Amino acid sequence: MRVLVTGGAGFIGSHLCEKLLNSGESVVCLDNYYTGSRTKIEHLIGNKNFRLLEKDLTSPFDLRVKRIFNLACPASPPQYQKDAIYTIKTNTLAMINVLELARKNRARILQASTSEVYGNPLVHPQTEDYWGNVNPIGPRSCYDEGKRIAESLAYAYRLQHGVDVRIARIFNTYGPRMDVDDGRVVSNFIVQALKGEDITVFGDGSQTRSFCYISDMVAGLCLMMDAEGLAGPVNLGSTSEITVLDLAIKIKRMTGSSSRIKRHPLPEDDPTRRRPDIDLAKRKIGWWPKVDLDAGLRETIKYFEKRVR
């Protein structure tokens, strides 16, 4: 089966391409390297079942595929805020082009949505039937509202054209191949700790997150793609909640760092609590995270040690 992974040279995309190849699939990795990097998939080049395409999805394209994982979109606040208009285009123009490809090929498509569709949630933990609390004109809206309209487009194509869509709402994910400067909290804290720099905690650090290791997330995406008749949305993420301050203390201890923890003002619209309800994923695809936070952080720290030190 020929599988297209858009954003395949990104953090999650590169791990997904690798898993699909190891499962015997023929994989087309499509990326324009806006936030992805060829280095993340360099080890896959040369595999006879792997094809790499450099392309911007905001222009229409044609390709023969049977399944599509659409991961193409900047995903961390510094990345998606850098060019808000392009982020919106990725979630509208590019989304339409990918859905059109799915329609023409009668291909199954999984849209990588996000926990950010819930905004700064008033419901905790977040269930799939919660509509969210999103600021439509805030600094994060290009991504939050962009992903919400991408979900709407997916469902419109499902209802009007019978496209076989799945929507996975991805919560905070971490692991090897994250970028050193991508702005995510785990990579920020690890890099700052390894460099002996101040570990920057925004606000008082009481805001919570739940972190899912990359191998668990990729397994969840594959299970959801393979499930019959499951359009979603379905939450994928860890239910183990931790405050940002406790995460900073944990990473400082695990790296043996002498860094100080320094507080900065909380960014606008930064969610105060973030944890998924994953009962639907457990019931429908038999998925839940297996890697605990300490084990995942150890592997992630090893990865960054090679790049920082």
The answer to whether 84 and 61 are in contact (CB under 8 A) is no
Ordered per-residue pLDDT tens for the chain, 309 residues: 799 999 999 999 999 999 999 999 999 999 999 999 999 999 999 999 999 999 999 999 999 999 999 999 999 888 999 999 999 999 999 999 999 999 999 999 999 999 999 999 999 999 999 999 999 999 999 999 999 999 999 999 999 999 999 999 999 999 999 999 888 999 999 999 999 999 999 999 999 999 999 999 999 999 999 999 999 999 999 999 999 999 999 999 999 999 999 999 888 878 888 999 999 999 999 999 999 999 999 999 999 999 887
Closest CA to 215 of 158, 104, 137, 299: 299
2-174+212-238+274-289: what fold? Answer: Rossmann fold (3.40.50)
Cβ burial of 118 (10 Å; 0-12, 13-18, 19+) is buried
Please work out, in degrees rounded to the nearest 5, the angle formed at the alpha carbon of residue 10 by the alpha carbons of 5 and 14. 60
Helix axes 11-22, 214-226, angle to 10 degrees: 60
Q: What is the CA radius of gyration of the chain?
A: 19
| Torsion of Cα atoms, 118 then 74 then 212 then 304, to 10° | -150
**Strand 234-236, strand 2-6: pairing:** unpaired
> To the nearest 5 percent, what fractions of the chain are helix, strand and coil?
40, 20, 40
Bridge partners for 111 per DSSP: 70, 167
Helix (H, G, I), strand (E, B) or coil at 24: coil
The reported pLDDT for the residue numbered 188 is 96
Question: Cα(106)–Cα(43) distance, rounded to whole angstroms?
Answer: 31
CA separation for the pair 105, 98 (Å, rounded): 11
pLDDT at site 47: 97
User: 86 catalytic, yes or no?
Assistant: no
What's the confidence (pLDDT) of residue 199? 97
Find, among 24, 4, 118, 19, the residue nearest to 70 by Cα: 4
Residue 117 DSSP code: G
The Cα–Cα gap between 89 and 99 comes to: 14
83's CB contacts (< 8 A; 6+ apart) are none
Instruction: Supply the pTM of this predicted model.
Output: 0.95
What pLDDT is attached to residue 236?
Answer: 98
Q: Which of 34, 80, 86, 143 is catalytic?
A: 143
Q: Residue 237's pLDDT is what?
A: 98
Which H helix or E strand runs over 5?
strand 2-6
